[in-house]
Amino acid sequence: MAAKKTSKPASKPVKQAAKPKGKPAAKTAVKAKPAAKPAPKAAVKGKVAAKPAIKAKAKTAAKPAVKAKRKPNPALMKPVQPDAVLAAVVGSKPASRGQITKSLWTYIKKNGLQDAKNKRNINADDKLKAVFGGKKQVTMFEMTKLVSQHISG
């Protein structure tokens, strides 16, 4: 009897496998089609092989031009002098515009002046209010515009 019980469950999976057999057959047919497609490409490769070789030579010739490093704009690297109002925040030594902006962001993050809800806004403390022209809050894009008024080149 035990043999009969094992044969019945074995027959059930066979019936279930019979239903999906139609679907895998379609999948194998799909698999066979891509295999057939590369064969014509292989026949054409002999004819087309010369063109990619020419393209490869052109690409290798163009690569050295792409590898050239971008030079920074000398006007942006030039040291500028912050005025007394801005010097209270970033220091009085001459620095490039990028360095001044970087030190300004260091001050903002150190004192937690970036708005919690909208990170693009900066809440001004007493020192920054003087730099921002008395505004309590400015966007980061306004900030660079307002800071440039306190820089002498």
Q: Residue 3: its pLDDT value, please?
A: 54
Confidence class for position 27, pLDDT limits 50, 70, 90: low
Cβ atoms of 80 and 152 within 8 Å: the answer is: yes
Q: Residue 117: its pLDDT value, please?
A: 94
Neighbours of 150 (CB within 10 A): 21
- pLDDT tens sequence across 42-99: 555 555 555 555 555 555 555 555 667 888 778 778 999 999 999 999 999 999 998 9
pLDDT at 123 over 70: yes
Q: What share of the chain is helix, strand, coil (3-state, %, to 5)?
A: 65, 10, 25
Residue with tokens 């690297």: 77
Q: Residue 68: its pLDDT value, please?
A: 76
CA 128 to chain centre: 32
Give first-to-last CA distance, the chain, whole Å. Answer: 100
Confidence class for position 9, pLDDT limits 50, 70, 90: low
Q: Residue 124: its pLDDT value, please?
A: 93
- Strand 81-82 to 151-152 pairing: antiparallel
Residue with tokens 């163009």: 62
Q: ∠ CA(75), CA(76), CA(78), 5° rounding?
A: 65
Predicted model pTM: 0.52
Give residue 84's identity as a one-letter amino acid code.
A
Can you tell me the mean pLDDT for 20-38? 53
The residue among 94, 95, 90 whose CA lies nearest residue 143 is: 90
Pairwise pLDDT comparison (19 vs 92), residue with the higher score = 92
Can you tell me the mean pLDDT for 3-15? 54
**How far is 104 from 120, CA to CA, in rounded Å?**
14
pLDDT at 138 over 90: yes
